[in-house]
Amino acid sequence: MNIAINEIIKNYESDNEKTLNNLAKLLNFGKLGGTGRLIIYPVDQGFEHGPDRSFSINPEAYDPHYHISFAIDAGMSAFAAPLGMIESGFSTFAEKIPFILKCNSSNSLTSIKDQAITGNVKDALRLNCIGVGFTIYPGSEFNFKLIEEACTLFRKAKEAGLITVLWSYARGNMSKKGETAINIISYAAHMACLCGAHVIKVKLPTSYIEEDATKDAFVKNNIKIDTAVDRVKLIKKSCFNGKRIVVFSGGEAKNDNELFDEVKAIKEGGGNGSIVGRNCFQRPRDKALKLINSIINIYKD
């Protein structure tokens, strides 16, 4: 194992050998393998937003095989998806890319800020996944239940030698702007670390500070949050002073340059990488491949 990867892995002091090997697999796979950076391709938006809203702009994307083969050809570090999607490409793509089983999902046919459990450690092992993924909604009325579910899943996953990825998306008891406010994302990212996640996934924060009890600390202690680089640095600091892997989500489809600016800020701020879904499958395949290649080159540069 190279020095960069060793440096990251040694921060996970309590994990068994199998889990550490799976973490190493994630960090060594794909075009960013061995760099300490990673890029994950998540396809759970069919659950979260519905198939037509997600895929009709690029109809090939209705097919699960489209996504898994895209992840492989793009040189992604891993493919993350709910049960049915991984099952549907399991034998065709076995061993060709690390799978992360997304074990809960929400849907937009309801306005409730909760998630249903749709997968477990047994499924992840049956599907030869390297890890499990889970979403919590800090701030929602269901946040305590979601946090407890995440911890229960993670306990079993670690026993079974799997890694854990936590999508920590603030939602509920805050303004819409507050969901990506720097003070809220910092809090959400730290809670994800405390749940024991190996990889923390949050939205890229804005410089807006939500009115709440944490705001004062930002003002009094003059925490630097003006630029996207400052904000990525702060999130890494909130994640055990840089000792946890943090990836930032791509969000809704946007133009290439906007995305490149975000990636440059993540890189400069010491973030570990990106998790990009819609910005890939809502573009034609060739354009999406080019986009990911450029993102990879920014991280590698």
Amino acid identity, position 297: N
* Minimum CB–partner distance for residue 221 and ligand FBP (Å): 29
Q: 264 is written with which tokens?
A: 């440059």
Asked about 201 being catalytic, the answer comes back as yes
Binding flag, residue 167, ligand FBP (CB under 6 A): yes
Beta carbon nearer to ligand FBP, 30 or 250: 250
Binding mask 228-267 for ligand FBP (x = CB under 6 A): ---------------------xxx----------------
| The one among 26, 67, 277, 298 contacting ligand FBP by CB under 6 A | 277
Binding flag, residue 169, ligand FBP (CB under 6 A): yes
In degrees and rounded to multiples of 5, residue 90 shows phi and psi of: -55, -55
Pick the stretch among 152-160, 220-228, 231-239, 270-278 that binds ligand FBP (CB under 6 A). 270-278
* Minimum CB–partner distance for residue 135 and ligand FBP (Å): 8
Please give the radius of gyration of the chain, using alpha carbons only, rounded to the nearest integer: 18
Tell me if residue 203 falls in helix, strand or coil: coil
**Residues in the chain, total:** 301
CB proximity list for 161: less than 8 A, separation 6 or greater: 16, 17, 18, 19, 21, 22
Binding flag, residue 275, ligand FBP (CB under 6 A): yes
Beta carbon nearer to ligand FBP, 35 or 104: 104
The 3 state secondary structure assigned to 2-56 is: CHHHHHHHCCCCCCCHHHHHHHHHHHHCCCCCCCCCEEEEECCHHHHCCHHHHHC
| The one among 42, 89, 131, 139 contacting ligand FBP by CB under 6 A | 42
| The one among 8, 31, 48, 295 contacting ligand FBP by CB under 6 A | 48
The residues that are catalytic are: 201
